[in-house]
C-alpha cells in the first residue's frame, strides 16, 4: 500500500511502520479511490437517517447520558460543534508532535473504512492537515480511554473546524484558523454524525503503542549488546548461551537473545572459557547468566502487543457504526481495554529489562564482584568517585519504572452520569509507557558507559587479551564522545552523551556493521 513517497489509506491494512513514517518522518498520505467510494456510500446511509422521524443516536439525538434527547434538524450542525468544543477539555503539558500525528492518522484510517458515515471532504481535511505539517495542540490530561480517547481526538477535530490552537509546520503556536488559511485548507462545518465519528476511537493509545513497539525493537537489541559487553567486562563466561541449552526451553525470544549474546561474544579474548588443567568460573550471577531469559520474555511481551496492534490497525472503531449492510448500530468497540492491557504489560517488561541492566552496572563498581577492576571504576579511587553516582542515577530511574509498571488499566472512574461506568485508562497507560521507555534507554546507556570504561582498565592490565569486534566497535564509538577514565569530570554530560548514542541508534548501527544484523 506504500511507496517511498506516499501512504495510500484504505487500500490495505495500515502497518506499524506506516504509522511511524507519518508520525516521525512526515510521510505524505492519500485516500485510496476505493476508500472514497466506501466513504460516500456510508455517508448516504447517514443522510437518509437524518431525514427520518425516528431518533438515531449521534445523528438526531444527544450523546452519552443525553442520548434520549431528540435534536431538531435545524440544530444538528450546532450539536456536532458543541460536542467537539465541550469534549476538547484537555489540560496540562502539550503532547508530543509524533503522538498527535499518529492519533490523527489512525482516526483518518477509521474514517476511510467506510463505517463512520463522515463526508469525504471531512476525511480529506484530516489528510490535508497532516500533509501540511499542522499539529493540533493536545494536552496530557483529559482521556479516560473510553469512549476511546475522546478529549485528545476532540482537540484535533476542533482544529479541523478551524478553532483552537495548533503548531504550524515550523512549530510556531498559532490559531488553527490562521494555520489552515495559510495552507489553503477550508475549515469543516460538521454535519450529522461527524462530531461523534471524529472523537470515538482508541487512536491515541494505539498510536503510542505503535511508536513504543518501534522503540523497543531497537532497545531490546541494545539490551543484548549491553549484557554481552558487561559479561565481557566482568570476565564472565558465554557457555550458558549455547544453542542446545536454549532448545531445552525454546521460547523464541529467549533463543534470539541467546543467539545475539553468542554472536557479540564469539571472538572475545576476555571471556572465560574452559582450559584443560585450569580452573575457570563455573557460573555467573543471575543478572549475567539469565539475560536471555529476561530479554526473551520482553520479546514475548512485545510479540503479544504487536498482535493486538495489528488487529487494531485493521479495525474500524466508532460508535455508532455504519455496517456493511447499511445498518447504523451502537456498539462498545471504542473501549480501550485490549490496547490498555498490553500497554501496561509492556511497562512491566520495560521496568524489568531496566532492572536487570542496573544490576549488571552495579557489579562493575563493587571490588568484591568486579573481578579485579578498581572501586567504582575510578581512575584514582578515593580521590575520585568514578561511576558511583551514575549507578545512583540508574537505580533512581529503575525505582521510577517500577512505579510506572503499576497498571493503569485496572483503574476505572465512572463518568457521564454512570452511562460510561467502566473505562480503560488506556491513554494513561500509554503515557507512562513512553516515560518508561525513555528511562530504559538511559539505564542501558549507563550500563554501556560502565562496560566501555571497564574495557579501558582490562586493556591496560592485559593488552594481549583482545575484546570482541562488536564490543570494540561500541568502545570506539563511545570514545568519539566520551573520554577514557581520568580524574573525575562533570558526569551529567557524559551520561547524556551515552544516552544520545543509544537513542540515536548509533550503538546498534556500530554493532551491526561489525557483526551483522541482530535478532
pLDDT (tens digit, 9 = 90+) per residue, 117-131?
999 999 999 999 999
Helix and strand numbers (H, E) in the chain are 19, 9
Matching residue, cell 503556536: 173
The answer to whether 514 and 453 are in contact (CB under 8 A) is: no
pLDDT (tens digit, 9 = 90+) per residue, 411-444?
988 887 787 888 999 999 999 999 999 999 999 9
> In sequence order, what are the residues at sequence separation of 6 or more whose Cβ sits closer than 8 angstroms to the Cβ of residue 311?
338
Residue 57 is among the residues annotated as catalytic for this protein:
yes
Task: Using the predicted structure, report yes or no on whether residue 1 has a pLDDT greater than 50.
Answer: no
pLDDT (tens digit, 9 = 90+) per residue, 86-114?
999 999 999 999 999 999 999 999 999 99
Backbone region of residue 15 per phi and psi (left: phi > 0; alpha: psi in -120 to 50; beta: other values): beta
Domains of the chain, start order: 7-200 (1.10.275.10), 209-316+350-515 (1.20.200.10)
pTM: 0.95
The answer to whether 295 and 312 are in contact (CB under 8 A) is: no
The catalytically annotated residue of 57, 126, 341, 499 is 57
What mean pLDDT comes out for the span 270-287?
A: 79
Burial of 243 (0-12, 13-18, 19+ CB in 10 A): exposed
* pLDDT score of 27: 97
Task: Using the predicted structure, report yes or no on whether residue 348 has a pLDDT greater than 50.
Answer: yes
> In sequence order, what are the residues at sequence separation of 6 or more whose Cβ sits closer than 8 angstroms to the Cβ of residue 47?
192
Given pLDDT bands bounded at 50, 70 and 90, which one contains residue 3? very low
* pLDDT score of 420: 81
Q: What is the DSSP string of 336-379?
A: -HHHHHHHHHHHHHHHHHHHHHHHHHHHHH-TTTSSSPPGGG-S
Amino acid at each position: 500500500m506504500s511507496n517511498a513517497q506516499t501512504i495510500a489509506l484504505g487500500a490495505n491494512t495500515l502497518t506499524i511502520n506506516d504509522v511511524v513514517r507519518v508520525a516521525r518522518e512526515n510521510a505524505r498520505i492519500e485516500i485510496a479511490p476505493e476508500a472514497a467510494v466506501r466513504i460516500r456510500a456510508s455517508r448516504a446511509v447517514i443522510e437518509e437517517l437524518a431525514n427520518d422521524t425516528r431518533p438515531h443516536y449521534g445523528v438526531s439525538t444527544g450523546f452519552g447520558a443525553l442520548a434520549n434527547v431528540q435534536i431538531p434538524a435545524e440544530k444538528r450542525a450546532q450539536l456536532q460543534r458543541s460536542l467537539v468544543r465541550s469534549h476538547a477539555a484537555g489540560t496540562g503539558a502539550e503532547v508530543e508532535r509524533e503522538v498527535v500525528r499518529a492519533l490523527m492518522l489512525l482516526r483518518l484510517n477509521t474514517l476511510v473504512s467506510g463505517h463512520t458515515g463522515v463526508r469525504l471532504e471531512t476525511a480529506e481535511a484530516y489528510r490535508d492537515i497532516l500533509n501540511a505539517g499542522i499539529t493540533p495542540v493536545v494536552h496530557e490530561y483529559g482521556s479516560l480511554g473510553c469512549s476511546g480517547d475522546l478529549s485528545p481526538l476532540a482537540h484535533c477535530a476542533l482544529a479541523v473546524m478551524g478553532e483552537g490552537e495548533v503548531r504550524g509546520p515550523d512549530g510556531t503556536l498559532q490559531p488553527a484558523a490562521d494555520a489552515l488559511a495559510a495552507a489553503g485548507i477550508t475549515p469543516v462545518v460538521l454535519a450529522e454524525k461527524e462530531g461523534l465519528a471524529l472523537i470515538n476511537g482508541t487512536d491515541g493509545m494505539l498510536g503510542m503503542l505503535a511508536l513504543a513497539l518501534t522503540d523497543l525493537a531497537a532497545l531490546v537489541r541494545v539490551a543484548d549488546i549491553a549484557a554481552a559487553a558487561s559479561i565481557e567486562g566482568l570476565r564472565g563466561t558465554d557457555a550458558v548461551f549455547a544453542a542446545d541449552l536454549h532448545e531445552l526451553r525454546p521460547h523464541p525470544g529467549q533463543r534470539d537473545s541467546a543467539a545475539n549474546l553468542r554472536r557479540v561474544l564469539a571472538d572475545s579474548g576476555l571471556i572465560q572459557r574452559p582450559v584443560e588443567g585450569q580452573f575457570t568460573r563455573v557460573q555467573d550471577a543471575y543478572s549475567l547468566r539469565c539475560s536471555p531469559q529476561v530479554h526473551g520474555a520482553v520479546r514475548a511481551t512485545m510479540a503479544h502487543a504487536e498482535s493486538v496492534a495489528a488487529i487494531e490497525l485493521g479495525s474500524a472503531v466508532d460508535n455508532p457504526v455504519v455496517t456493511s449492510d447499511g445498518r447504523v448500530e451502537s456498539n462498545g468497540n471504542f473501549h480501550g481495554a485490549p490496547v490498555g492491557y498490553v500497554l501496561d504489560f509492556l511497562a512491566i517488561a520495560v521496568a524489568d529489562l531496566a532492572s536487570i541492566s542496573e544490576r549488571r552496572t552495579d557489579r562493575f563498581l563493587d571490588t568484591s564482584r568486579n573481578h579485579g577492576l578498581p572501586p567504582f571504576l575510578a581512575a584514582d579511587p578515593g580521590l575520585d568517585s568514578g561511576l558511583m553516582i551514575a549507578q545512583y542515577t540508574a537505580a533512581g530511574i529503575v525505582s521510577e519504572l517500577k512505579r510506572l509498571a503499576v497498571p493503569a488499566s485496572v483503574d476505572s472512574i465512572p463518568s457521564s452520569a454512570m452511562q460510561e461506568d467502566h473505562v480503560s485508562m488506556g491513554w494513561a497507560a500509554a503515557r507512562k509507557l513512553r516515560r518508561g521507555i525513555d528511562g530504559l534507554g538511559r539505564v542501558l546507556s549507563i550500563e554501556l558507559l560502565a562496560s566501555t570504561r571497564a574495557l579501558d582498565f582490562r586493556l591496560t592490565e592485559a593488552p594481549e587479551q583482545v575484546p570482541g569486534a562488536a564490543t570494540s566497535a561500541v568502545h570506539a564509538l563511545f570514545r568519539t564522545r566520551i573520554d577514557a577514565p581520568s580524574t573525575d569530570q562533570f558526569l551529567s554530560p557524559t551520561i547524556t552523551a551515552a544516552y544520545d548514542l543509544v537513542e540515536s541508534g548509533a550503538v546498534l548501527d556500530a554493532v551491526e556493521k561489525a557483526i551483522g544484523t541482530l535478532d
